[in-house]
Amino acid sequence: MARKLTKVPGTKLRKNLFARARKALVGGVNSPVRAFKSVGGDPVFVEAGSGPFLRAADGRTFVDFCLSWGPLMFGHARREIVEAAKAALERGSTFGAATMAEVELAERIKDAFPSMELVRLTSSGTEADMSALRAARAFTGRDLVIKFAGCYHGHVDSLLVAAGSGATTLGVPDSAGVPKAFAATTVVVPFNDLPAVEAAFKRNKGRVAAIIVEPIPANMGVVFPKDGFLQGLRRIATREKSLLIFDEVITGFRVCYGGAQTLFGVKPDLTVLGKIVGGGLPLAAYGGRKDVMSVVAPEGPAYQAGTLSGNPVAVAAGAATLDLLRTEDPYARMEDLKAYFCEGLRRAAVAAGVPLRIQSFGSMFTPFFLDGEVTDYASALKADKAAYGRYFHGMLKRGVYLPPAQWEAAFVSYAHTHRELDVAIGAAAFAMAEAAEGQSRRLPITRKRSKKRLMKSR
């Protein structure tokens, strides 16, 4: 695929694609956020990807910062990953039987995440989250789970309560169709609020099976855990004989090879992985303490299964990705690229006079259209979704594809170079000005204020 930006064609073809899609698929899509409902306009129908680029079915080419929501550390269609998947497919697409390749992938996971003494592979992050909760409930004999408002753990019934990601984007953080009795097993507390966690345990003494948390939330946009927060969760969970579950579907292998738990030095009882561990194919994992995981069938009575669990093609792509992460160690370069791009975005926002707070960790980042810090769901929700929509479309029409939603993380990959970042920064100069248009809170920026804002948003 030619690595150059092409001209934007007319909208007629795009409209036709969406109209046709809506006749066959609910909302025209297979996952709600990609329908562009919160940013408006018609979704992009993708035909192919190469490195940092996406090619749409209507002929447009984009620099991609959505990157399939996180799995693509090396960009699209990295040769070694494609070849590993192809070779596995030649040997057979699925066996529904044990393979040594899945054992080898589990061994790689255990090496990276020493807290995961035993591992189970699944096909999606949702499935892994759901199964981790079941294991926690089976092990503790308790029903309740503490989750944090704005964190997202897949579309598990009981966890679609104050859920971030698409559920927030579409205004359904408490999804319809979840039986009240299921929702009642979830106790929601604000992120970064240890006293609220303590109070939740006090109210529900001896009934909480687990605390589940994204250690660095990315599904309400990127939010940092305050100093001592994750350590505090560990302390409370241990004291209360509850389990601590880290949902590292986004942060695992992303913020460093061993995930957020390695960076923060906090050992969860169970960990959920997804996205990168499958190299862009449908694969996820959960695992943790041997005594806890031993409740899972066939070792124990907590049932969980799947014909495609440990699928050989996905396992091959995952293993190739983890091997590349080991040999190429892309983390420092990706963080530099992210910093360069975010600095460009910040300057564009300052020049346009649009309030912007960029929060980032490693190679993931979220530009929140607001003044001030985002520390939890309540502060994330203050972001100006309409301004994000204008920024999104300003970038899209200039050849840059972003997550089509304010409350998500964007990513850079190892395949991005300064050349693509400069193209995107050039687009941002216009897109930020368009975001500022119609913003009631638009403020005149003096030199002094701009500098202060730049420092503040670091």
Footprint of ligand HOZ (CB under 6 A)? 31, 33-34, 69, 165-166, 219, 408
Q: For the chain, count helices (H), then strands (E).
A: 16, 14
Point out the residue whose Cβ comes nearest to ligand HOZ: 31
Could you give the CA distance from residue 145 to residue 139 in angstroms, rounded to a whole number? 13
Is the torsion defined by CA of 61, 66, 69, 73 positive or negative?
A: positive
Q: How far is the CB of 275 from ligand HOZ (least distance, A)?
A: 9
Block residue for tokens 């960009």: 75
Q: How far is the CB of 111 from ligand HOZ (least distance, A)?
A: 27
Other C-beta atoms within 10 Å of 100: how many? 7
Active site residue 275: yes
Could you give the CA distance from residue 267 to residue 187 in angstroms, rounded to a whole number? 22
Q: How far is the CB of 154 from ligand HOZ (least distance, A)?
A: 8
- Of the residues 129, 257, 269, 275, only one is catalytic, namely 275
Q: Which two tokens stand for residue 422?
A: 């400069």
Is the torsion defined by CA of 223, 218, 147, 356 positive or negative?
A: positive
Q: At what angle do helices 100-112 and 312-328 cross, to 10 degrees?
A: 40
Q: Helical H runs in 353-399?
A: 377-380, 385-396
The residues facing 368 across adjacent strands are 357
- Of the residues 64, 247, 269, 376, only one is catalytic, namely 247
Residue 34 or residue 76: which is nearer to ligand HOZ going by CB? 34
Helix (H, G, I), strand (E, B) or coil at 350: helix
Q: How far is the CB of 444 from ligand HOZ (least distance, A)?
A: 36
Q: How far is the CB of 277 from ligand HOZ (least distance, A)?
A: 16
Residue 219 or residue 242: which is nearer to ligand HOZ going by CB? 219
Residue 115 or residue 168: which is nearer to ligand HOZ going by CB? 168
**Exposed, middle or buried, 44 (CB in 10 Å: 0-12/13-18/19+)?**
buried
The residues facing 64 across adjacent strands are 401
Q: How far is the CB of 163 from ligand HOZ (least distance, A)?
A: 10
The residues facing 187 across adjacent strands are 146
Residue 140 or residue 271: which is nearer to ligand HOZ going by CB? 271
Residue 108 or residue 254: which is nearer to ligand HOZ going by CB? 254
Q: How far is the CB of 237 from ligand HOZ (least distance, A)?
A: 25
Phi first, then psi: give them for residue 13, nearest 5 degrees.
-60, -40
Residue 128 or residue 350: which is nearer to ligand HOZ going by CB? 128
Q: How far is the CB of 383 from ligand HOZ (least distance, A)?
A: 16
Could you give the CA distance from residue 392 to residue 148 in angstroms, rounded to a whole number? 28
The residues facing 76 across adjacent strands are 51
Phi first, then psi: give them for residue 84, nearest 5 degrees.
-65, -40
Residue 33 or residue 200: which is nearer to ligand HOZ going by CB? 33
Q: How far is the CB of 271 from ligand HOZ (least distance, A)?
A: 18
Residue in 34, 66, 60, 46 with CA at minimum distance from that of residue 413: 66
Q: At what angle do helices 418-436 and 385-396 cross, to 10 degrees?
A: 130
Residue in 404, 400, 410 with CA at minimum distance from that of residue 385: 404
- Of the residues 58, 64, 152, 257, only one is catalytic, namely 152
Residue 57 or residue 199: which is nearer to ligand HOZ going by CB? 57
Could you give the CA distance from residue 258 to residue 169 in angstroms, rounded to a whole number? 30
Could you give the CA distance from residue 148 to residue 162 in angstroms, rounded to a whole number? 8
Helix (H, G, I), strand (E, B) or coil at 110: helix
Residue 201 or residue 365: which is nearer to ligand HOZ going by CB? 365
97 contact partners, CB below 8 Å, separation of at least 6: none
- Give catalytic residues, as residue numbers: 152, 247, 275
